[in-house]
Amino acid sequence: MTDSSQPMAAPRTSPSAAWPAVVGSRPGSTLLAILSFGAAGIHFAVSPDHFAEWLPYGVAFACLAWFQLSWSAAYLVGATRRLRIAGVVVNTAVVAVWAWSRTIGLPIGPEPGATEAVGFADALSSGLEAVLVLGLLTAHTQVPTRLAAGLARQPARWAVALLAALVVLATVAAMAALAPQAMSMG
């Protein structure tokens, strides 16, 4: 005979078993977190070059990378309105600064007003951030609801896995493209 006054312990699940459940139950949030994670990886990779160029640039890139990494983890845990707003504001600002630096040049730094060339890594990072902003802006509209209605759980998981693989491969490719530049600077 069991004692009904004692609550039953919840079954334990390992952390590795919890992630597929998150992906399956919230594929949209997972996709958005992956985009931020990819941009963070690129910003971590270029931070040393920016520290060498000008200390404030290095600090800005390192802080941005940590924000994007932390944001992606927090968004996976719980996609709140505040996180969406923070993601939109920060990533929109980053894309705007990137466009400004490539078109008319930033008014600060070691070479004020000088425009920078568009490279694969920075274009990829800005593209990930722009898609992230669009995704966050449409997160609670009919767009994702209609898309999700057309996908069964299994295809949604495959779509998340495919996008994750593409973001990882593109980020690794961008980081590999940066490696010769970093080695020549040292």
Specify the DSSP element, H or E, that contains 6. none
The token pair at 7 is: 């609550």
Residue 19, domain member (yes or no): no
Residue 14, domain member (yes or no): no
Q: Which residue has the tokens 């990137």?
A: 98
Helical H runs in the chain? 15-25, 27-53, 55-77, 81-103, 120-137, 142-149, 153-185
pLDDT score of 85: 96
The token pair at 36 is: 């931020």
Residue 124, domain member (yes or no): yes
Residue 177, classified by CB atoms within 10 Å of its CB into exposed (0-12), middle (13-18) or buried (19+), is: middle
State which residues form the domain around 77. 27-185
Residue 13, domain member (yes or no): no
Per-residue pLDDT of the chain (186 residues; tens, 9 = 90+): 444 444 444 445 565 566 666 666 778 888 899 999 999 999 999 999 999 999 999 999 999 999 999 999 999 999 999 999 999 999 999 999 999 999 999 999 999 999 999 998 999 999 999 999 999 999 877 655 555 555 545 566 667 777 777 787 787 777 777 766 554 544
Q: Which residue has the tokens 């949604």?
A: 156
Count CB-CB contacts under 10 A for residue 184: 7
Does the global pTM surpass 0.75? yes
Residue 115, domain member (yes or no): yes
pLDDT score of 155: 65
Residue 9, domain member (yes or no): no
Sort residue 151 into left (φ over 0), alpha (ψ -120 to 50) or beta. Answer: beta
Quote the number of domains for the chain.
1
* Alpha carbons 7 and 105: distance in angstroms, whole number: 63
Residue 10, domain member (yes or no): no
pLDDT tens-digit profile of 164-175?
777 877 877 777
Residue 4, domain member (yes or no): no
**Contact, 181 vs 53, CB < 8 A?**
no
